[in-house]
Structures are given as structure tokens and as C-alpha cells.
Structure 1
Amino acid sequence: MSHPLYVAFIWHQHQPLYKSPDSGVSLSSTQQYKLPWVRLHGTKDYLDLILILEQYPKLHQTVNLVPSLILQLEDYIAGTAFDPYLTASLTPAEQLTREQHEFIVQHFFDANHHTLIDPHPRYAELYQQRQDKGQTWCLANWGVQDYSDLLAWHNLAWIDPLFWDDPEIAAWLKQGRNFSLSDRQQIYAKQRQILSRIIPQHRKMQQTGQLEVTTTPYTHPIMPLLADTNSGRVAVPNMTLPEYRFQWAEDIPRHLRKAWDMYTERFGQEPRGLWPSEQSVSPEVLPYIIKQGFKWICSDEAVLGWTLRHFFHRDGAGNVQQPEMLYRPYRLTTPAGDLAIVFRDHRLSDLIGFTYGSMQPKQAAANLVGHLQAIAKKQRENPSEQPWLVTIALDGENCWEFYPQDGKLFLEALYQNLSNDPQLQLVTVSEFIEKFPPTATIPQEQLHSGSWVDGSFTTWIGDPAKNKAWDYLTQARAVLASHPEATEETNPAAWEALYAAEGSDWFWWFGEGHSSNQDAIFDELFREHLAGIYKALNEPVPAYLSQAVEVHEIRANHLPESFIHPVIDGRGDEQDWDKAGRIEVGGARGTMHNSSLIQRLWYGVDHLNFYIRLDFKSGVKPGQELPPELNLLWFYPDKTMHNSPIPLKDVPQQAPVNYLYHHHLEINLLTQSVQFREAAEDYQWQPRFSRAQVALDTCLELSVPWADLQVPPDYPLRLVLVMADNGRFSDYLPENALIPIEVP
């Protein structure tokens, strides 16, 4: 039987609780928020996504709205929520304090400057002054109007381009500068107007059948870790666990019930789908989800892979081999009942989330549709009664900051292409499951305990700082348990503080793996929520809660934190390399390292390229102090292929430079030209064509397409950089090591 290829997009909209627990819980009182992201993402990301979709009625999708996000949107709509950014924005510019000036200069450019700042001349002018002349210069030289304009643009730039045809917004964009307090007040009123449309529009589109709205446990906790922090050892048996074991499975139904009740009140019907926080699942949490009434959940292909003991390999085009295993719903069977589960295609989801923003919108849309058409062709070649369902599930807000016009051009091109192809049919998950109930089963005990990150929980537990935070939470939870009189009805403040502290986001930012310039604020908020438990119970607040969980300082060496998409211009834009891996070279051992001609090495990837950046000592010039030739050599561990020695004179007989390598890229730093070679028989090197880009200005930046290396996704490789002068070995980096890379 011939079926179209069914595709389920699930957009996950989430923000942690930024509200300070000391600001009260009544809507009639002012709510103090630490950060502005609910308000700013609310004007940029939640409404436009579904308004664009509404223009293509044949296309059905799913949107997940986390309860903690909805609560905070309602505070802003009511006009009772104030964050430091908003307070400054509504202050007469001549009355701003010195502390506010410093705060504004430091934080009012917290945005991707390529897409949100550079398109607006006045905003870009102020940004360049801060970048080129520094914060101290701005504080000394900016006048009242400079601050007033910056306050206006910080808010204007986050209003989605879909709304730019609004007469008031269009007038502000045209005005460009000389904004007054009245202008800023009206911009804030416009923000609240946009926010007020978000929930009604979702409700309306769900009622028409084009949209399915799902929910998440109340404050986005990792349910398997609430049940038992020892579940971290399922994927990582040698994980270092917190000192105290957190085992409060009884909190799981509380989070689920609060999410359920909140959803039914806002949407006038019961939810069917649940997005488990961070797509984290385990056998222990399934009965709670089933008993609450949910019909389906979603997780990641890594979790399915661990469950089935199957690794999902991809071909050279990036498409899944054995797709019939991934592109189907499964039925989880438990004594409490059954539950459907879908698993997302991790790579297709990541392409939207991390790579397509750096491509031309029409090219990116065509690439995604091309992947889906290739899957549809495989389905036609393997016909069955049960059609395939490709699930693409990802963060629905943060990625658009890296797209031109906030993703509008990409989404319009994508939706038009999808509408034009009769072989591709977009559905909500519930639509598909009702029409084609899952036939494949997974017994409860077989389900893997893990998340979308590598099928493990290492992002939220196992690191010393993360473990310390769990110990703080465990002790606070025990104190609440010692007060049986403090129920949700008699002491809601204590329970709300607990729910907030159980959210996943605090653990995400603690320790290694992720960082931002607001780590210290997340740390503070976590401890404030914990302190709120003690205060609500009239218990003494432990002294350790007045101290940061960890020291928040700029780290030296670290692994990549996310995908990167740097512009290769030799300028080393700080935002472009913010999430890259970093290796400090200056001060290490070795001839080059002692003289510190190269200060540090940055490296990272996206789905298209591998990236390298070298920062040089000030004043150093290639061909003078610095050797004029840079060689990149790739080593492929555990792979059988032709390999050759480094083609330079005087290479020392020591690891790793005495290894045999498969690919070699030689860069002439004087001319910025490249030569690419591949190892052949008899230890020879054969020339190959390369699309590598090189730029040298204040630093060296380089991109090498994965297509040059002709390696498939999920392929491990290692890299060494070797400096040379006229074909003679000079030095290499990193010292005594290779850079580990994996093709995404």
C-alpha cells in the first residue's frame, strides 16, 4: 500500500522561572524578574511561528508550551512583571544611575549582532563603538540620547519582522534615532500587545485542527532524576554521583498534575501529548505519565538506539540507514497501561536548530525537503501497511536568532515547498497515532534511561558543581518533608519554591558543558528558590546558600559547547566563536609555545564545515617571526585506509607527528592559498580539490567543508596543526595531543 511520508514537527517553547521568589505570588503585586528572556522571546519567537504556519492550512504541526513559560507570559501581559532591562528601558534617560549605565553598556547588546543588531544602523553604530572603543569609553562619552536610543533599540530589535508592517513599529524603524521616553513606553505597550496574542492564537489553531498544543512537567524538571539520581548511572556506569541520593518520585505526579490542570484551564480541553523535559525518560516515570492521562510522549533517537541496542548510522548524504526502525511510533507497555512514544530524527532536528541559519534561506529549505524526499523514496522502495513518521523536534525559539529575519524567509520557503509536494504530509503526532496506532512495542523495563544529549543525563548530573546543586536540593527537599503540615494548600510558597528549584535549567548551566554571561544569575536564582523553601517553612536558611555554587570565571581550555557558524574574515568575531572549543597555547611547553607566537587555538563544527581559528601574539607577522606555512593533518582512528607520513623535512620521531595521516591541507599564510591532498598507495599524497576558506587579519580563520574529507556523519577523526618554513618542520599544536572531532 502506497503512503505519503508523514512528517511531525514539534516546536518546544520553554523558559525557566526568572521570577525572584521574594517578589510574591499575587498577580496584583509587582513581580521582579532577573532576566528579560520571556518578554523578548515572547515578542520575537512564539506568535510569528504559528502565524506563518497559518498561511499554509494543509500543514499541521505540534507546539509544546511549558507551563513555567505560560505563567511568566501572563505576568508580563498583566503588566506586573519587571526585569532590570525593562526597568532601565522605562527610566528617563537623564535619571539613569551610574550602575544602570554600566549595566546597559554591558548587557543591552545581548543578541546575535549579525541578525538583530547589524541590520539597524543606529543600533549597529552603538555596538561598534562599544566593540572598538570599549565600555570605559562609552561610559565616558555617551550622552543622554545615546542611552535613550540604545534602550529603544534593545527592545525594538527583538520584535519579530513579521510585525514590522504594523504602522507604529514601521514608524519607529524608520525613525531610527532620537527616541524619547514616550517612544520607549509605547514600544513596551506594543510588546505586551504581542504577548497577549500568543495563547489565544495557539488555542484558536488547535480548535481548527492545524495545531496540536502539548505540555511539559510544570517547571521542566528531569523526571528520571527526581525519581532517583542513581539513574544517571544507566548510561554512564562510572558516573560520580552527588553525596546525597535524591529519590522523590512523588514529586513527579505533582508536576504532571499542575501542568495538566494549567493546560485544561488555558485551552479548554485535555492535553494528549507530553514533551518530557529534555526528552528525558526512564521506565520509572512511565506509570505517572499514563495515570495522569497522557497518550503519547517524545524522545530522541539516541534513547531509541540505547533501548534497541542499535546505533543509527547514516549514509554519506546524512540519511538514516534502516529508517524503518526510527520512523515509526512505538507502544510502551506497562502494568499501568500503554503509552505511545515517537523518537525524533536527531540530525534533521539539529540542522534546523544549528546549521540552516548560516545558509541562504531557500537553499536551506530545499536541503531539508531534499532529505525528506530521499526518505520518502526509501519508503516507496520498502512498502508496508504501516507508513513512516519522521519526527523533527527541537527548541522553537533560540535558533531563529541566527536566521535572517528571524527565520521568516526560511519558514516561508520550507512551508511552500512542503505544500507543493504531495508525497510529504505534515501531521500532528496525535493525528498520526489515531490513524495508525503503533504496532511495535517496547516493554517498560526495556526503555533506556536517558535524554536527547547522547542518551545520558551528564548535562545535568555527574559534574562536581552539578552534584553540589543536587545535594543542596536534596537537603531542602528533606526539610520540606519534615513539615507534613506544609501542604500545597496550606503553604503554597514552599512548594512553588521547590518546583522552581527542581527545574532542569539550573543544572544545565552549572559546571562544564554550557556557559553564558549570565551563569552567575542562574546560580543566584537557583539558590534563591532553595532559600524560599526554608523561609516559607520558617526554617533557618543554610549559610552555604549565600555563596555561589561555583566560581563563575572565564575558563581557559574547554571543549566545544555547541555548533558554531563563524564568518571567515580573519576578524575573530567574539560571538561567532563563543561556543567553540578553546586551547590555550601561550605559556605551555615547547619552542613555539614558550615564545607564545600563537596565543590560543579555537575549533568547532556545524553540519557543513569544520572551523579553526588561531590568535597570534600582537604584532606577529607570517614569514617573519611566525613560520609562513600551516599544515592541517587528519588522522582517522580505527579506520582502514591509505595513510602517509607528514610531507615535511625534519619531522621528529615522536607522537603524534610521527603518525600516518589521511588528509593534508597546506595553507600559505603569506598568500592565504591552500593545497589539499589525500593519502594514496605507497605512502604517497595525491592532490584533491578543496573548498576550504582562509582569512588572515587580526587572527587566522579557516573553514573546511566535510565534503572535502568525504566522511559520513557520526564519524570520528583527529587533527594536528603543524607549522613549517619552506617545507621544513617548525612546531606543532596542540602539544602532545590531537584535536578530537566527530562529524555531526
Structure 2
Amino acid sequence: MAHPLYVAFIWHQHQPLYKSRSNSSAPGGQYRLPWVRLHGTKDYLDLVLLLERYPNLHQTVNLVPSLILQIEDYVAGTALDPYLTATLTPVEQLSLGQKEFIAEHFFDANHHTLIDPHPRYADLYRQQQEHGRTWCIENWSLQDYSDLLAWHNLAWIDPLFWDDPEIATWLDQGKGFTLSDRQRIIAKHREILSRIIPQHRKMQEAGQLEVTTTPYTHPILPLLADTNAGRVAVPQMALPQQRFQYAEDISRHLEKAWGMYKDRFGCAPRGLWPSEQSVSPEILPEVAKQGFRWLCSDEAVLGWTLKHFFNRDERGTVYDPQKLYRPYRLETPAGNLSIVFRDHRLSDLIGFTYSAMEPKRAATDLIGQLEAIARSLKSGSSSLDKPWLVTIALDGENCWEFYPQDGKPFLETLYQTLNDDPDIKLVTVSEFVEQFPPTETLPAQQLHSGSWVDGSFTTWIGDPAKNRAWDLLTAARQTLANHPEATEDTNPEAWEALYAAEGSDWFWWFGEGHSSNQDAMFDQLFREHLAALYQALNEPIPDEVRRPVEIHTSRGDHPPEGFIHPVINGQGDEQDWDKAGRIEIGGARGTMHRSSPIQRLWYGVDHLNFYLRLDFQTGAQPGKEIPPELNLLWFYADKTMHNSAIPLIDLPNEAPLNYQFHHHLGVNLLTQTIWLQEAGEHFGWQSRATRAQVGVGSCVEISVPWADLQIPPDSSLRITVVLSEGGRYREYLPENALVPISVP
């Protein structure tokens, strides 16, 4: 029997618990941040409304219980956040503090997609960027503030709703917004939010959608069972001083999620999205006991479980597809579970890379990726003789901010193509596993303990700041355990505070690995949940709970924190490089380092390109203070290939300049011409075609396609940057080091 290639999309909708438990809530309201409201207006409803236009396409959406609770607060009108409070305040009554807050935070959005398309909003943003916040506060009129308050909220309304007559009128109006306008814009937010849960229920009842759930407040279940689980993937991991072992909390989170789901959707859930796709043998009996039928995780977890690394060819197609593209059976004492593992790379292409491509090209590329998978599974026959399932699972909200029109053109093109393609069939996970039960068994005790991040838990434990947070949580949990009279019935406030503090999001932001301009707020929210637990038990709040877990200062050198796709124009857009790695250069590092007209180096990747940026010292110019030639050299330490010396004269005989390199990209900073060379026989250099781009302005920005370098995915390499003039060496960056790069 011939089969199409079955594909299961799973969209994960989640936001941290922004609701404060402080007795003295902030002046702007009890919600510290607005992202549930704004993402709810922009991302949750439109995703399924677009899908509804194509009834033959079935998908899965995961709604985290703590997200649902926050959406319901906004719909009920009981949620206030500082952004919302400012929006609804008459501009004549805005305090100086509120004006400062507005000038700083009401451009919190991707300016390419949410600000620049709207001329009035873009003009106010330009003023803030060119003149600074102080100038804005001193020079903006009350009407400027009113327009900014309106546009911040208008820009987050999804383009799918722009044909609404009221919204269309506001978009055409452009400026001159009144308090009444702003009130009606917020009412429109609430109207959109009110449709989210009913629309998901309607489409699930129609059979087009499967809605799944997550443990109540999105905790890392394996770490609740035992923080020593961190050492499964990282045996030498530094653990918290106190071991957290409260496996009973797993069933509590699952039971609360189950009850909430049945109440909102009128049926029991079938699938579980374990928070951060984190699994371990210890959690499986509880998942099965609660009644779940399947769960999902990441290919890294499957790879660790099978002791198999999923290598890919140059296009990114997995070499052993039969291992990845199938569900597995997990046998537990409480019953069997099915588990699917997502294709990490395909998920990341949607999440981090396709937004930088023209929508039709991006959709075509994804279809091509799926067709390549199908060809690899045919094993010489002309059709698929077995039912294979490709799982694509990712964050269903944050990526769309970087797509033109919030991803609408991309998704419309993708869905129309899939709708017309008889060889690819979109299914829910439950549809597939019920029709084609798993034929391969993974012994439950063999399942690897890990998450979607490298198959480990290092994002949530092991760092000194993360470990301090775990010690605070362990002490609070033990305090609750010391009060057996405090049950969920007699003292629900204590238990709700515990559940909130057990959420994964606080640990994500602590320490190294991730950072935002809201780190201090996440730190505060975590400690407010802990403080509320102590208060509910009439226990004194420990001093360490009153102090920040870590000092939130501006950072120096750090590795990349995510994919980037900057516009290459020499302007060094702050948002474009937000998640890039950074290395301070020369005098910026202190007096013990040599002086350089280059202030810092930024670097990052996506699935298409490597990116480099060099910031100039104030007033420095190429051809004057800065040598006019830039040389980018690529060093492959673990590969057998032709290599050659750097093709410059007056080169010092010192490492790493005396290494031999395989690729050399040259840039003339004055003419902005580019050339690429590859090492050949007899230590020579051969010219190669390149589609690299350069932009020179207030900085230098460069993008180099991976296709030019012909490096397979998952490769490791290192680079150095050498400045020259007339073919003569002048200096290199960074000092005494090579920059490590991982190819996605």
C-alpha cells in the first residue's frame, strides 16, 4: 500500500506567569509585563483561523494552562499591566515616570515588521533612536504620546484582522488619536482574546485540530523528580547545594492541567507537551497514570536514547530517516505511551530562518525539505510503502514577529501548496498513532533524561545563578512540606505560589545562556512567588528571597544566544544583532590590551549564513584610522583538507596567524568589493564564486552563505579577522584567539 508522507505540525503556545503575587502590586497593575495580551492579540487566534481555511490540513496546538488563565484574566478585564495602564491614562495626567516608561518601552517590538510599516509609528521610533529618550521627553507633545500609545497597541493587532472596518479606520487615520480611540483599540484586543479558546475548541470538535496541554505552570518535570537528573547528560555538572526531590509535584501539575483542559474543551486531552520537551524515565508512569496517550520530545533526546547521532547531508536531510520519522512505544507500569520526536532542523527553519526569506521561497524550501525526506524513505521504490511521520514542533508565537505581515504570506503559500499536494498529508499526532500504532518499543528506563536544548538540562540548572534559584525553591518547598495542614483545599494560595515558582521560565533567564532587557523583572517575579508562599504559611520571608538572585548588569563578551538574520547595510541595527555573540576588542577590553580602531566584534548564524559585524571607534574611518582591507579566514581543526597560509606579507610568525586556513574571504572596505578563495594543492589559493554581502557605514557588516563554503550541518570551525593595507598585514581580531562557530 502506498502512503503519502505524513507530517504533524505542533505549535506550542506559552508565556511565563507575568501575574505578580506581591501584596503591593506595581502602580501599573498586577501583571508585570504585557506579552500575554499582545501575543494573544497577534499570534494565537490568527494561526488557527488561517488553518481553518484549509479543512484538509490537520494540525496540533499546545495551550499551556498558565497561559489560558492569563488570557482569561484579560478577557474578564481583571488584568492590568503597566503598558495597558499607560495606554488608558489621559495623556494630560501622565506622570514623568510614565512618560519615561513610554519613551523607553513602547517600541518593544521588531521594528522591521511592526514599526517601520506604519509611518507615524516609524517617525516616533526614528526620533527616539536619533535623539534619545531624554530629548523625546523634553520635546514630545501630548499628541505625540497619545499617538505612540495608540500605535504600540495597533501594531500588535494581527494583519488577518486589518479588514475589520474599525481597525482599518485606525490604520488609515495614522495620527491624532484620542483617549477614546485608545480605549476602543484595547476593547478590540479583548474581543480578539475572547475568541482564542472557543475557536480552538470549535476546530477540535470539527476534527481539524488537536489541542494538547502541558504541566500546569510549565515546570521541568524531570528536575522536579530529582535535580540530579542534570548529570545524566552532563556528568560533571555543578548541582545546587540542596537536592530537589519532590516527584509528587509531577502528578499535581499533570492533574491540574488535566482538569483545566476538560473544563475548557469538554473532553480529556490525549497529548502532552512536556515543558521544554523535557523527559526522563521517572516521569513516564505519572504521565500514563493521568491518562495521557502520547507525548513529544526532540530528536536530540532520541539520539541520546539510541546512542545515535543524526547526521545530515549538505542540504540538511537526515541520513537515517527511519529512526527519526516514526512514533515509538514506551511501556510503563501504568500503561503504554506513544512518543514522537521532532525534526529539530525543520522546526528551527520555521522558527528562526524562513522569516529572513521571501515568503514564497521559504514555503517552497520547506516543501522541498519534506520531499527530500520522502525520497530518502522510499528505499529505491517509487512510493512510500510504510506510514512515516515527520514531526515539526516549535514555539507558535515568537517567530512570527520577524516574518512579513506576521507570517501570513508564508503560511498562506505553505498551506495552499500542501493542500494541493497528494504526496504530503498533514495530520494530528493522535490521528496518526491511532491509525498506525507504534511498532518500535523504547524501554522506558532507556529513555534519555533531557530536553530540546542539546538533549540536556543546562539551560535550567548547573549555572551558579540557576543553582541559587533552585536552592531558594528547595527551601520554600521544604517549608511547605513542614506544614501538612496546608493542603490545596485549606491553603490554595501557598500551593499556587509554589506551582508558579516551579515554572521553567525563571531558570531560563538566570545566569548564562539567555538574556533580555527584562531579566531583573523575571528575577523579581520568581522571588515574589516564593515570598507569597511564605506569607501564605505565615512564615517569615528569608532575607535571601528579598535579594536578587543575580546582579543584572550589562554584559561583556558572550557567545551567541540564538539565530540572527540582520539586514546587511553597515548600520548595526541594535535589534538585528541582539542575540549575536560579542567580543570586546582592543582598548574596549581595558588598558592591558592593545589599542585598536575596532571597538567590538559581533558574530552569529542562521541556517543560511554566517554573520560578522565590526564596530568602529567614534570617528574612525576605513582607509584612515582603519586599514582598508578586511580578511576573514576559516580554520577547520578536525577536518582533512587542503590548507594554506594567510596570503599577506609582513605577517608575524605567531599563533593563530601562522596557522593554515581553508577559506579566505577578502573585502575592500572602500569599494565594498568581495572575493572568496579556497585553499588548493601545493598550499595555493583558488578563486571561488561567492554571494557574500558587505555593508560599510557606522560599522562593517558581512554575511557569508554556508553554501559558498560547502560545509555540512553540525560542523565546527573557527575564524580570525585580519586587517591589511595593500596586501600588508596590519592587525588581527580577536587578540590571541579564534572565534568558535557551529554550523546549524
Q: How many Å apart are 1:590 and its aligned residue? A: 11
Matched, 1:316 2:311: no
- Aligned counterparts, 1:490-509, within 5 A: 490-509=490-509
- Shift of the alpha carbon at 1:291? 0.2
Deviations 1:329-359 (A, max 9, x none): 0001222221100000000000000000010
The superposition leaves residues 144-164 of structure 1 with CA deviations (integer Å, 9 ceiling, x where unpaired) of 101100100110000000000
In the alignment, the residues of structure 1 paired with residue 649 and residue 342 of structure 2 have an alpha-carbon distance, to the nearest angstrom, of 50
In structure 2, distance between residues paired with 1:291 and 1:658: 62
Determine if contact 1:31/1:80 at 8 Å carries over to the other structure. Answer: no
- Amino acid of the structure 2 residue aligned with 1:609: N
Distance in 2 between residues matched to 1:536 and 1:589, nearest whole Å: 48
Structure 1 88/707 Cα, relative in aligned 2: closer, same or farther at 3 Å? same
Amino acid at match of 1:505: D
CA distance in structure 1 between the aligned counterparts of 2:642 and 2:653, rounded to whole angstroms: 20
The alpha-carbon deviation at position 613 of structure 1 amounts to 0.3
CA distance in 1, matches of 2:48, 2:544: 45
* Correspondence for 1:263: 261
Contact kept, 8 Å, 1:24 with 1:31, in 2: the verdict is no
List aligned pairs for 1:339-738, cutoff 5 A: 339-381=337-379, 386-587=386-587, 594-738=594-738
Q: 2: distance between equivalents of 1:307 and 1:408?
A: 37
Mapped partners of 2:303, 2:377: distance in 1: 20
- Residue in 2 aligned with 1:97? 95
Q: Deviations over 1:506-564 (max 9, x none)?
A: 00000111111111110100000000000000000011122111111110100000000
Deviations 1:96-135 (A, max 9, x none): 0000001101110000000000000110000000000000
Distance 1:450 1:543 in 2: 33
- 2:288/2:332 contact within 8 Å kept: no
Deviation per CA, 1:297-349: give whole Å up to 9, x if none. Answer: 00000000000000000101111111010000000122222110000000000
Structure 1 position 743 matched with structure 2 position 723: no
For residue 223 of structure 1, what is the aligned residue in structure 2?
221
Superposition RMSD in Å:
1.4
| Corresponding position of 1:288 | 286
CA distance in 2, matches of 1:694, 1:562: 22
For the Cα contact (< 8 Å) 1:588–1:594, is it kept in 2? no
Partner of 2:184, secondary structure, is helix
Look up the match of 1:196: 194
Match of 2:36 in 1: 38
Give the aligned residue type for 1:64.
N
Would you say the 8 A contact 2:127–2:136 is kept in 1? Answer: yes
Task: Give the Cα separation in 2 of the matches to 1:640 and 1:590.
Answer: 38
Which deviations, in whole Å up to 9, do the C-alpha atoms of 1:201-230 show, x marking residues without a partner? 000000000000000000000000000001
- Letter aligned with residue 34 of structure 1: R
Q: Taking structure 1 as reference, are residues 530 and 632 closer, same or farther at Cα in structure 2, changes over 3 Å only?
A: same
| SS, match of residue 331 in structure 2 | strand
Secondary structure, counterpart of 2:408 in structure 1: helix
CA distance in 1, matches of 2:652, 2:404: 48
Query: How far 1:594 sits from its partner (Å)?
Result: 2.8
Paired residues of 1:328 and 1:342 also in contact (CA < 8 A): yes
Match of 1:570, SS state, is coil
8 Å CA contact 1:23–1:32 kept in 2: the answer is: no
Partner of residue 178, structure 1: 176
* Distance change (3 Å), C-alpha of 1:690 and 1:385: closer
2:252 is matched by which residue type in structure 1?
Answer: R
| Cα distance in structure 2, aligned partners of 1:219 and 1:542 | 24
Give the % identical residues.
Answer: 74
In 1, are the aligned partners of 2:561 and 2:580 still within 8 Å (CA)?
Answer: yes
Q: How far is 1:657 from its partner?
A: 1.1
Tell me the residue number matched to 2:233: 235
> What TM-score do the two structures reach when normalised by structure 2?
0.98
The Cα shift of 1:588 comes to 6.6
**How far is the alpha carbon of 1:385 from its aligned partner?**
5.5
Q: CA deviation at 1:592?
A: 12
What letter is aligned with 2:69? L
Q: Does the CA-based 8 Å contact 1:644-1:683 persist in structure 2?
A: yes
Deviation at 1:378, TM superposition (A): 2.2
Separation (CA, whole Å) in 2 of partners of 1:236 and 1:588: 35
Preserved CA contact (<8 Å) 1:330 1:340: yes
The amino acid that maps onto 1:84 is P
Q: Which residue of 2 aligns with 1:144?
A: 142
- Alpha-carbon deviation of 1:86? 0.3
Q: How far apart are residue 593 of structure 1 and its match?
A: 5.6
Alignment of 1:5-44 (within 5 A): 5-22=5-22, 32-44=30-42
Q: Aligned to 2:416, what secondary structure does the other structure show?
A: helix
The separation in 1 between residues aligned to 2:474 and 2:214, in whole angstroms, is: 22
The alpha-carbon deviation at position 584 of structure 1 amounts to: 0.3
Q: Which runs of 5+ in 1 are unaligned?
A: none
What is the TM-score with the length of structure 1 in the denominator? Answer: 0.98
User: Structure 1 residue aligned with 2:110, among 101, 112, 119?
Assistant: 112
1:128 to 126, 129, 150: 126
> What is the letter of the counterpart of residue 658 of structure 2?
N
The amino acid of 2:478's aligned partner reads A
**Matched position secondary structure for 1:487:** coil
CA–CA distance in structure 2, aligned partners of residues 424 and 266 of structure 1: 32
- Secondary structure, counterpart of 1:392 in structure 2: strand
- Partner residue in 2 for 1:169: 167
How many Å separate the matches in 2 of 1:575 and 1:553? Answer: 19
Q: Which runs of 5+ in 2 are unaligned?
A: none
Check 1:396–1:326 CA distance in 2 against 1; reply closer, same or farther (3 A cut).
same
Structure 2 residue matching 1:675: 3-state secondary structure = strand
User: Which segment is superposed worse, 586-595 or 508-517?
Assistant: 586-595
SS of 2:392's equivalent in the other structure is: strand
Amino acid corresponding to residue 516 of structure 1 in structure 2: S
> Secondary structure of 1:713's partner?
coil
Structure-2 change in CA distance of 1:244 and 1:354 (3 Å): same
CA gap of 1:592–1:321, structure 2 versus 1, over 3 A, is farther
What displacement does 1:22 show? 3.1
Q: C-alpha separation between the residues in 1 aligned to 2:625 and 2:290?
A: 69
* 1:677-712 deviation line (CA, Å, top 9, x unaligned): 000011000000111100100000000000110011
CA contact (8 A) 2:588 2:599 kept: no
**In 2, distance between residues paired with 1:674 and 1:16?**
45
1:588, 1:221 → 2: CA distance? 40
CA–CA distance in 2 between the matches of 1:215 and 1:63?
9
Structure 1 CA distance for aligned equivalents of residues 94 and 261 of structure 2: 41
The CA deviation at 1:595 is: 2.6
Report Cα offsets for 1:490-521 as digits up to 9, x if no partner: 00000000000000000000011111111111
| Contact kept in structure 1, 2:588 and 2:600, CA below 8 Å | no
